[in-house]
């Protein structure tokens, strides 16, 4: 499916306000090597366009802080103009500025406006041409996948527009059972899972040998050649390894359909958790990060993702140090509250 590229209206203001917001899917399509691009479409986000309409940033305001999620989408040549338009808008409205999950390409654009970079983790990106279950490197993943096969798990896939209604009802029930039907998230969750709103998304469904639904993943199209994991969900009765099996099946689908990259998630603080040493400062930082455990088990997520050996570009929070407390409050509530 092709989307028409946006063009500024004759009266477009410097913040791109004359651009049709319905053109955003075209900018996601235009984005390259950015697994977070689809999440700019999350309901509830506001958008600021570059004057030429070829780039945009998505943001929300929380507690007086305007927070951008991820990098600008669209033509990288227009990113700087989109950032400048956002900065002008935030200053006009008297908001603090912050960015959650800025990538390496966009970091200098925000630094030019006085924001400092705090590394928070790395993308995890599998390349179908390189991923294999053969050999010692991927032994843990291979063993997890084999456990599901031994348990009789089967996997089917559909595009979201083609998911049969009875399966869609099962998926909604699985979301409710896991507490995943509540609409929360900001930078790496699109929302409205399995409801048909993303017709080109890839949906994979795992069933046990009795035919019961035990897990599902939804992957969004990011640009022309990327897939990004949006919603992973599994039942409490799922055999160990179901998520690894669904990932392996998604990579297989990608290889067969010309997709170059499959983004799994975001590995938090790999440098912090990579070793056991580091001294008192590292130990203190680990304790601070574990404060988030009631919301998300950060170290467990890191240890799960490292088995794929697929760490990619670094991600940052961009902020002014003098504003770290209100910015941290805004970021946490945006990600973890409804």
Residue 130: phi and psi, rounded to 5, are -110, -20
Domain boundaries, position 59: 21-121+314-336
Q: Which tokens go with 241?
A: 């390894």
The answer to whether residues 193 and 233 belong to one domain is yes
Last residue of a domain, one of 232, 267, 302: 267
Q: Are 99 and 67 in contact (CB under 8 A)?
A: yes
pLDDT along the chain (338 residues), means of 10: 42 46 84 90 91 94 95 95 97 96 96 95 92 89 95 96 94 81 64 82 95 95 88 90 96 94 84 66 66 65 84 94 93 79
Q: What is the pLDDT of residue 14?
A: 43
Q: What is the pLDDT of residue 222?
A: 85
The answer to whether residues 117 and 128 belong to one domain is no
The answer to whether residues 161 and 73 belong to one domain is no
The answer to whether residues 107 and 156 belong to one domain is no
Q: What is the pLDDT of residue 160?
A: 93
Last residue of a domain, one of 211, 240, 267: 267
The answer to whether residues 134 and 58 belong to one domain is no
The answer to whether residues 161 and 249 belong to one domain is yes
In a domain, 57, yes or no: yes
The answer to whether residues 116 and 149 belong to one domain is no
In a domain, 289, yes or no: no
pTM reported for the whole predicted model? 0.85
In a domain, 115, yes or no: yes
In a domain, 138, yes or no: yes
Could you tell me the CA-to-CA distances from 173 to 207, 236, 242, 310 in Å, in that order? 14, 13, 18, 32
Q: Which tokens go with 185?
A: 């998230």
CATH of the domain at 96: 3.40.630.30
């Amino acid at each position: 499916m092709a989307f028409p590229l946006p063009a500024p209206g004759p009266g477009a203001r410097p913040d791109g306000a004359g651009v049709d917001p319905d053109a955003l899917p075209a900018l996601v399509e235009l984005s390259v090597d950015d697994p977070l691009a689809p999440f700019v479409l999350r309901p509830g986000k506001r958008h600021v366009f570059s004057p030429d309409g070829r780039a945009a940033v998505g943001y929300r305001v929380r507690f007086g802080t305007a927070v951008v999620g991820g990098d600008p989408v669209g033509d990288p040549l227009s990113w700087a103009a989109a950032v400048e338009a956002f900065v002008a808008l935030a200053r006009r409205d008297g908001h603090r500025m912050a960015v959650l999950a800025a990538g390496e390409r966009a970091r200098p654009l925000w630094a030019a406006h006085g924001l400092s970079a705090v590394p928070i983790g790395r993308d995890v990106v599998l390349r179908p041409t390189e991923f294999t279950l053969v050999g010692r490197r991927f032994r843990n993943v291979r063993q997890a996948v084999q456990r599901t096969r031994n348990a009789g798990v089967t996997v089917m896939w559909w595009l979201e527009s083609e998911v049969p209604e009875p399966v869609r009802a099962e998926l909604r029930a699985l979301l409710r059972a896991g507490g995943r039907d509540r609409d929360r998230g900001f930078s790496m969750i699109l929302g409205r899972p399995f409801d048909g709103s993303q017709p080109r998304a890839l949906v994979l469904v795992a069933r046990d040998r009795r035919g019961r639904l035990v897990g599902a993943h939804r992957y969004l199209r990011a640009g022309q050649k990327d897939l990004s994991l949006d919603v992973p969900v599994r039942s409490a009765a799922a055999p160990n390894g179901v998520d690894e099996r669904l990932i392996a099946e998604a990579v297989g689908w990608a290889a067969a359909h010309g997709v170059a990259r499959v983004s799994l998630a975001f590995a938090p603080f790999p440098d912090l958790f990579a070793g056991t040493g580091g001294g008192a400062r590292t130990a203190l930082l680990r304790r601070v990060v574990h404060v988030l455990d009631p919301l998300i088990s950060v170290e467990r997520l890191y240890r799960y993702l490292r088995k794929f050996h697929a760490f990619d570009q670094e991600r940052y929070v961009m902020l002014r140090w003098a504003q770290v407390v209100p910015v941290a409050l805004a970021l946490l509530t945006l990600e973890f509250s409804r």
